[in-house]
Amino acid sequence: MADCDFLILGAGPGGYTAAIRAAQLGASVILVEKDLLGGMCLNWGCVPSKALYRSARLFEDMRKAESLGLECAGVRADLRRMVERKNKVVDQLRSSVAVLLKKRRVDYRAGFGYLLDLHRVRIISPQGRCEVSARFIILATGTECAPHPILTVDNRRIHDVKSILDLKEIPASLFVVGGGVSGCEFAQIFGALGSQITMTKRSQAPIKGLDQDIEKTLLRLFRKLKYRLLFGDTIEEAQVDSGGVRARLGSGQTVEAEKALVTVGHRPLSYGLGLEEAGVELDPAGHVKVDRHGRTSVESIYAIGDLTGLKELAHFASHAGLVAVAHALGDTEAVVEVEAVPAAVFTDPELAWVGLTEAQARERFSDVKTGSFLMRALGRTQADGYLEGLVKIVAQGGRDRVVGVHILGPQASSLIGEGTLAVARGVGLKELAETIHAHPTYPEAFWEAVEDARGLSIHKL
Angle at 85 (CA atoms; ends 80, 91), nearest 5 degrees: 125
Q: Domain boundary residue among 264, 299, 314?
A: 264
179 and 224: one domain? yes
Question: For the segment 372-431, what is each residue's pLDDT rounded down to a tens digit?
Answer: 999 999 999 999 999 999 999 999 988 899 999 999 999 999 999 999 999 999 999 999
134 and 278: one domain? yes
Per-residue pLDDT for 72 more than 90? Answer: no
125 and 209: one domain? no
28 and 141: one domain? yes
pLDDT, greater one: 213 or 265: 213
What CATH number should be reported for the domain holding residue 409? 3.30.390.30
> In the prediction, which pLDDT does 392 show?
98
Domain range for 407 is: 340-453
What CATH number should be reported for the domain holding residue 40? 3.50.50.60
Mean per-residue pLDDT over the chain, rounded: 96
Residue percentage of the chain with pLDDT more than 90: 94
Residue 460 placed within a domain: no
Angle at 439 (CA atoms; ends 436, 441), nearest 5 degrees: 100
Pairing of strands 259-262, 173-177: parallel
pLDDT band with cut points at 50, 70 and 90 for residue 127: confident
Q: Domain boundary residue among 281, 304, 336?
A: 336
- When pLDDT is averaged across residues 250-262 and rounded to a whole number, the result is 96
DSSP 192-207: HHT-EEEEEESSS-SS
120 and 53: one domain? yes
Active site (catalytic) residues:
439
260 and 271: one domain? no
Per-residue pLDDT for 73 more than 90? Answer: no
Whether the CB-CB separation of 371 and 451 falls below 8 Å is answered with: yes
pLDDT band with cut points at 50, 70 and 90 for residue 461: confident
User: What is the pTM assigned to this prediction?
Assistant: 0.94
Residue 198 placed within a domain: yes
17 and 137: one domain? yes
Q: How many whole angstroms separate alpha carbon 29 and alpha carbon 328? A: 13
133 and 30: one domain? yes
> In the prediction, which pLDDT does 179 show?
87
Q: Domain boundary residue among 286, 311, 336?
A: 336
11 and 88: one domain? yes
Q: How many whole angstroms separate alpha carbon 454 and alpha carbon 452? A: 5
> In the prediction, which pLDDT does 2 show?
87
- When pLDDT is averaged across residues 213-240 and rounded to a whole number, the result is 95
Provide the domain count of the chain.
Answer: 3
Q: How many whole angstroms separate alpha carbon 311 and alpha carbon 338? A: 8
